[in-house]
Structures are given as structure tokens and as C-alpha cells.
């Protein structure tokens, strides 16, 4: 009979145990994305970016053919990482770019969290490559998108079958917080949720405005 303890499971993410890689959240890639509404995609990318900044998560930002073809990364991402190096590539699979791999190795992290466009190309590529090289991989599914629902769903299935762990943008941020008694990040997390957390954010706005309540008061 196992004994329960008040400790987190080892597969749960913490701010210090992983590397976030945000891939090709760019205008040209977004035009053909049909599996998720562009506004929702930008919103979710903003939520992930806010979470990474709030918790000081090691992060790689990478684009493909930024100046010649795909355009700049979303402002919602860029403004959370002022002065952050942007790695531009020619490879569809960022894991085949030496500059990206140098940054991955410099991070010293054995867990990789991926988000970007398109799921079936620019996310499947690094996910399967990283898993093959012994990394644990998580994919933020709703901060990814593809040219059709079918393309996105089959890509997610393929990565999960290979061992990747799927999650969502809001789940990512709340998994890093995990305890409302962590006062040092409480305000930033709730403000990010209010701005980008959809109906959950509306609930927080209501509770704070009408009831004057905070989650850590429970």
C-alpha cells in the first residue's frame, strides 16, 4: 500500500527545471493557421510569455526567415523579453539549427517545453528530435496551430505517441504557480490571468471587483 505525502509529482513542471522554446509565432505562419483563431493564438502565446517572465523560466525565442519571408515574432511575446536574443533560422526543424542547439545545451535543462507554428512541422520536428536524444518534452497545444484541425490533431497524436506530454497555456502558468500562498508571484499571475485567461480571468476580475476576494484568502 503506497503512502501519500503532501509533495508534487515528479512530472509536474517547476520554473527552474525546464527550457521553454517558442517557435515561429510570426505573421506569415499565422495567415494559414486554421486550427485555432488567430486572436486566441496570440492570447495564448501572451499567456505563456507572461508566465515565463513572471517565473524567470529559461527561454529560447526563435523565428524562421524573419526578414525575408515570415515576418517578426508577435509583439505579445517580444514585449515580455526586452533585449532577448532572437535566433533566426533557415531550418524548419529548429533542432537542426546549431545556434538553437548551442542555446539548448547552455541552458543545462533536461526538460523542453515547446509552443509554436506549425504543429505538424516546426513543433513535431524538435519534439521528436529532442525525445530521441533523451529529453523530456512537453507541448503547449493551444499555443500551437496548423493549417487544419486534422494537421494539428494528428501532429499532437504523433508527439504523444512518442512520449511528449500535452498541456495548455493556462495549465502551464498555474502549474508553475501551484500554490496561491506563493505571494511573490501571486499578483503577477492573477493579473496575467485577468488579461489573457479567458473566462477564468473574467471570474478573477469579478471576484476582485465585486467580492474583494483573492485566491490566497481561501
Please give the positions annotated as active site. 122
- Angle among Cα 101, 156, 43 to the nearest 5 degrees reads 80
Q: Kindly state the greatest CA–CA separation across the chain.
A: 61
Secondary structure (3-state) at 44: helix
Beta bridge partners of 58: 19
CB-based contacts of 151, cutoff 8 Å, min separation 6: 35, 118, 119, 120
- Cβ neighbours around 79 below 10 Å, total: 12
Residues 94, 70: Cα–Cα separation, whole Å: 15
Residues 49, 185: Cα–Cα separation, whole Å: 15
| Beta strand residue intervals within the chain, DSSP E | 19-23, 58-64, 86-89, 111-116, 136-140, 165-167
Closest to 77 (Cα-Cα) out of 97, 50, 95: 50
Amino acid at each position: 500500500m503506497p503512502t501519500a505525502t503532501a509533495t508534487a509529482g515528479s512530472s509536474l513542471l517547476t520554473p527552474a527545471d525546464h527550457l521553454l522554446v517558442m517557435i515561429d509565432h510570426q505573421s506569415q505562419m499565422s495567415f494559414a493557421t486554421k486550427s485555432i483563431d488567430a486572436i486566441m493564438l496570440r492570447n495564448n502565446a501572451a499567456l505563456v510569455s507572461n508566465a515565463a517572465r513572471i517565473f524567470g523560466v529559461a527561454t529560447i525565442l526563435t523565428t524562421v526567415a524573419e526578414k525575408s519571408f515570415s515576418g517578426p515574432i508577435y509583439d505579445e511575446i517580444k514585449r515580455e523579453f526586452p533585449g532577448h536574443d532572437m535566433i533566426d533560422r533557415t531550418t524548419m526543424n529548429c533542432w537542426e539549427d546549431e545556434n538553437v542547439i548551442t542555446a539548448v545545451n547552455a541552458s543545462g535543462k533536461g526538460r523542453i517545453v515547446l509552443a509554436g507554428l506549425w504543429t505538424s512541422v516546426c513543433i513535431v520536428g524538435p519534439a521528436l528530435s529532442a525525445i530521441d536524444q533523451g529529453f523530456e518534452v512537453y507541448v503547449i497545444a493551444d499555443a500551437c496551430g496548423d493549417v487544419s484541425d486534422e494537421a494539428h490533431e494528428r501532429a499532437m497524436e504523433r508527439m504523444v505517441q512518442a512520449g511528449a506530454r500535452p498541456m495548455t497555456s493556462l495549465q502551464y502558468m498555474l502549474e508553475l504557480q501551484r500554490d496561491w500562498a506563493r505571494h511573490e508571484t501571486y499578483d503577477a499571475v492573477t493579473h496575467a490571468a485577468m488579461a489573457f485567461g479567458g473566462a477564468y480571468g473574467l471570474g478573477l476580475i469579478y471576484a476582485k471587483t465585486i467580492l474583494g476576494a483573492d485566491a490566497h484568502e481561501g
